[in-house]
Chains A and B, each alone.
Chain A
């Protein structure tokens, strides 16, 4: 489905095509810190279908369990997280867009939970959503 989104201050807007079946929760400790919250909710958008206006600040995270570096893009004005992606110049293969910034977020319920082994112990009500102890 077509998705559109913006950071809180509007400096960054995005649009693209996202498959609601691919929405996932990540309970990893990097996502808990990066959101300041209990977990992150993201959906992948293919690079060829991802459009963005505005320039996010990029943070290169190097602490992923896989060892792979990951770019975490956020709005430098308001702090809203936009996506994560692979490092490098130009269009990347895919962007993991943060569902909280999407206008259609009510239609993007997560279908899986990754890194469940570090989930907050009070997040007990998502039992119906498939769990992976680590990455899928």
Chain B
């Protein structure tokens, strides 16, 4: 479905196509720190359809457990996290943080990743398959 979204202050705006069946929760410790919360909720958008229509995000490069580098994009004015993606050029996926999507009511997570580091008090979400790592 078509989605559009923005950061809290409106500096960053984007649009694209996302499949609600691909929405996930990530419990990895990087997501806990970078969101300041218990887990992150994301959905992939292909670079074919993803468009930034506002300002430029700030980018932080993180090295994941796999050893791969990941760009973490956030608004430099309000700090809202927008997406993560590969630093490489070419076709890729943007993992959009669903909390910034205007249509976020449609994005119910279907899978939980990195459940081995899930906060103990976050009980299993109903009917959401859990994967220990990636």
The interface of chain A, by Cβ under 8 A from chain B, is: 6-9, 30, 32-42, 57, 59, 61, 63, 72, 74, 76-82, 98-101, 105-106, 109-110, 120-126, 129
Contacts and interface: CB of A to CB of B under 8 A. Distances in A.
B115 interface: no
Contacts of A41: 36-38
7 residue pairs, one from A and one from B, having the closest CB atoms: A36-B97, A98-B36, A74-B79, A79-B74, A81-B36, A125-B123, A36-B81
Q: Give the residue among B34, B109, B125 with the most A Cβ atoms within 10 A.
A: B34
Interface of B: 7-9, 30, 32-42, 58, 60, 62, 72, 74, 76-82, 97-100, 104-105, 108-109, 119-126, 128
21 contacts: A8-B30, A8-B60, A33-B99, A35-B99, A36-B40, A36-B81, A36-B99, A37-B37, A38-B99, A41-B36, A42-B36, A77-B60, A78-B60, A79-B81, A98-B37, A100-B33, A106-B119, A109-B119, A109-B121, A122-B126, A125-B122
Contacts of B121: 109-110, 126, 129
A76 B33 contact: no
B80 A37 contact: no
Contacts of A109: 119-121
B79 A57 contact: yes
B8 A79 contact: no
B80 to A, nearest CB: 6
A101 B30 contact: no
A54 B56 CA distance: 24
A77 B128 CA distance: 33
Nearest to B33: A8
A78 B30 CA distance: 11
Contacts of A76: 58, 76
